[in-house]
Amino acid sequence: MIISLDDKRLAYEFWSRDPYFDEETHEELRKIAEDEKEINDRFYKDLEFGTGGLRGILGAGTNRMNLYTVRKATQGLANYIIKEGASDKGIAIAYDSRKKSEEFARETALCMAANGIRAYIFPSLRPTPMLSFALRELGCTAGVVITASHNPAEYNGYKVYWEDGAQITAPRDKEIISEVNAITDYTYVKTMSQKEAEEKGLYQVIGPDMDDKYTEALKSLVLFPEVIKRQAENITIVYTPLHGTGNLPVRRILKELGFEKVYVVEEQEKPDGNFPTVSYPNPEDKNAFALALKLAKKVDADLVLATDPDADRLGIYAKDGDGEYKSFSGNMSGMLIMEYLLSGRKRLGRLPENGAVVTTIVSGKMSRKIADAYGVKLIETLTGFKYIGEQIKFFEQDGSYEFLFGYEESYGCLEGTHARDKDAVVAVMALCEAAAYYKDQGISLCEQMEKLFQTYGYYKEELCTVTLKGQEGTAKIQAVMESIRSNIPHTIGERRVHAFRDYAEGVVRNLENGSVTETLLPKSNVLYFELDRDAWCCARPSGTEPKIKFYAGVRGQDEADAGKQLKELMQAVTRFAD
């Protein structure tokens, strides 16, 4: 909801003085009394409860992540759960290492308790995939995890899951949004003390047995435990949790599988919401690996692994034959794990006839070739792992396919169905198992990746983001998208456009014969171009940050050719933002 100029000032005055808001909030807002631009940014709209929940900058104001916007979101979610007649099943809650995460999680639990909904809350920080796992184990109606994933330190967020363990999708997401938006008076929100909630049995701490169950679920997915036993002592691993939640579960799973030579980056081991050693706690960012690579060279590591703050994304480096550390993109690590799992299942006679791999429209296209090679179905969804998780639910409902693997280009993947969201802990496990397997064959992960390129083609992809902050930035992003939509190009750079997909309209326009068909996916503000020579590109606004994202992918004759093609294509694509 966009707020008028007069209303912004009224909202500011209300938050600055009303006794409903605490003194910390009053004091923070008094300090910006003369800064109209800052007041405008904090109050020009309500922090949007989007299709996955909330995400925003921490601070006082309607357009900020704070105690009161979290309570409001929770009250809306509670109202929806009650209307659905599902309040007796309870809700599971987890949180990461970010600033205010523990407080927001506790307030979420107390608001739910005040609405008569039992809250199960982890006693300390946990990875996001463990929330997905726990809510299904507990038989809960819904789940909430307090996290802003890989965003900078000034952000936090609030992600909502439903009983299947996946993030909410249509139509439920829109229905919950309506309930949240219906709350216009913050004082309507219910809460109670923790003592009262505990006495009524509405605030329950999740016990350590949940960690045990999660670990056992992961270990059951191992394909060749005997190979790990042979090679674990020959593999040296450096790992960094980037001040997040991955430290304990990642080290536990590796230790229980037999990987003993695991070195953790000491400076980044402890949880810290300030992320003091990195500017951006994201394993997609090569700068985040600086300390890990330094340690890797010291201990002569084979693998260098990093997980983001809520441990659902995994970034990797691997040592090549010359002793240099090579980075793997999210597509590369996804393909490495995917091919390992499919080939391993085939060798064991456990590759089902109705097996399926699920990915997103902006992920690398090598997956098509690998899926074809192993006779499994490849299904593409919209961007966002919630759509991959949703496919698992559909498979279980209609028995159409057996889920084998899901991945997206942004460093997230899932083996198994213990969780319905990307899981960096299981990704670490699968990758280290693959490393042991290939070591047993006398090759490294870098050599195996090169084999995949030689077999399936030199696919290369890139993501470029343009950050446009504030109200003006939001308007600019919308203008860029509408300009592309209104003036569909027939060429991008030197490549001819075969087809244009507008997922907001739900149509595919064939520019060669003029035909129009349906996308068969939910509507979303995404524009996608199918180009000649097996290339593609895509534009979409970020759902969680003030950015517009441009994706591109090509297939080359070799690595150099693919790199040259991609550079030329991305230069043409990013001109859309000029």
Active site residues: 149
Q: What is the Cα–Cα distance from 242 to 289, expressed in whole angstroms?
A: 9
Q: What is the Cα–Cα distance from 400 to 407, expressed in whole angstroms?
A: 20
Provide DSSP, 264-303.
E-GGGTS--TT-TT-SS--TTSGGGGHHHHHHHHHHT-SE
Burial 326-351 (b: 16+ CB within 10 A, else e): bbbbbbbbbbbbbbbbbbbbeeeeeb
Q: What is the Cα–Cα distance from 169 to 387, expressed in whole angstroms?
A: 7
Q: What is the Cα–Cα distance from 549 to 331, expressed in whole angstroms?
A: 17
**Burial, 195: exposed, middle or buried (Cβ in 10 Å; 0-12, 13-18, 19+)?**
exposed
300 closest CA partner among 258, 214, 237 = 237
Partner residues linked to 459 by β-bridges: 555
Residue for token pair 């006082």: 60
Q: What is the Cα–Cα distance from 166 to 163, expressed in whole angstroms?
A: 8
Residue for token pair 């579960």: 249
The pair of structure tokens assigned to 413 is 């993947």
What's 187-256 look like in SS3?
Answer: HHCCCCCHHHHHHCCCEEECCCHHHHHHHHHHHCCCCCHHHHHHHHHHCCEEEECCCCCCHHHHHHHHHH
Question: Amino acid identity of 371?
Answer: A
Q: Is the previous residue joined to 541 through a cis bond, with omega within 30 degrees of 0? A: no
Query: Where does residue 534 fall: left (phi above 0), alpha (psi -120 to 50 degrees), or beta otherwise?
Result: left
Q: What is the Cα–Cα distance from 331 to 335, expressed in whole angstroms?
A: 6
**Burial, 188: exposed, middle or buried (Cβ in 10 Å; 0-12, 13-18, 19+)?**
exposed
The H or E element that residue 427 is part of is helix 424-440
275 closest CA partner among 237, 246, 309, 306 = 309
